[in-house]
Amino acid sequence: MNGSFSQREMLERDLLARPVSSLQYMLGQLAAGYPSLIHLMVDGVFGERTLEAVMRFQKEFHIPVTGVVDRNTWDAIRDRWLSLEDRAGEARGTQIFPSEGTEVQEGQTREYMVLPQTMFQVLSRQLEGIASHDPDGIHGPASAANVRWLQKAAGLPETGTLDRSAWDALSRLYEVFVVRELEGRPQFPEGWG
C-alpha cells in the first residue's frame, strides 16, 4: 500500500482512471433507487445516453442541468453512489453481478467485467499474488489468473471462470480489505479535479 495516499484517495484515483466507465457504472447503480434515472451500459463512451443520464441526475438532485460533469456533479454522483453502497450492506454482491448461473470464461468479453477487474486492481495494492492490469471488460489471461488466485484462496475449484461463487468471494474480500478501511475516514476534500 502506498503510504502517501489514503484508501479514499486511492478509490478516487481508481474511479478517475476510467472516468466515463466509472460515471456510467455509478449512474447505472443509482438508477435502481431513483426511477427518474436511466440504466446505462458501461462502455466508456460519453454518448447521448450517458449525457441524458447526467442531465437526469442533475435535474433529480437540483444541480444546474448542463450535461457537464464538473466537480459539483461528479462529487454529487459519487457521494450518492457511496451512500447507496453503504445502505446495501451485505446485499452488495447480489445487486451487482448478473443472475445465478452466469459465468464468464477466459477469453469472453462482458461489460460488467470492468467492475471485478477494478476490484482486483485495488486489492493488488494490498495482497500478494494479484496481477494489476487495466480493467477492460475482457476476461483475458491476467483476469482469469486473478480469478484462479481468488478461487484458490477461497477453497473453490480453480477454473478461472468468474461465476457467482467467485464473485461472492471477491465481494467479501473487497469488503474486508477496502470498504471497511474507508469507514470512519474523512472524505477526499479535493473532489475529482
For the chain, residues classed under CATH 1.10.101 are 111-182
- What's residue 92's pLDDT? 45
Residue ranges of the chain with per-residue pLDDT less than 70: 1-17, 86-100, 180-193
- What's residue 94's pLDDT? 40
Which CATH fold topology does 111-182 show? Muramoyl-pentapeptide Carboxypeptidase; domain 1 (1.10.101)
CA distance 86 to 160: 30
| Grid cell listed for 57 | 441526475
- What's residue 49's pLDDT? 92
Q: Is 99 helix (H, G, I), strand (E, B) or coil?
A: coil
Specify the length of the chain in residues.
193
| Per-residue model confidence as pLDDT tens digits over 39-78 | 888 788 899 999 999 999 999 999 999 999 998 999 899 8
DSSP run (H or E) holding 143: helix 141-154
Cell 466508456 sits on residue: 44
Among 1, 2, 12, smallest CA distance to 187 is for 12
The CB-side HSE value for 29 (13 A sphere, CA atoms) comes to: 25
Answer whether 25's CB lies under 8 Å from 36's CB: no
- What's residue 186's pLDDT? 47
| pTM over 0.75, yes/no | no
Cell 462482458 sits on residue: 110
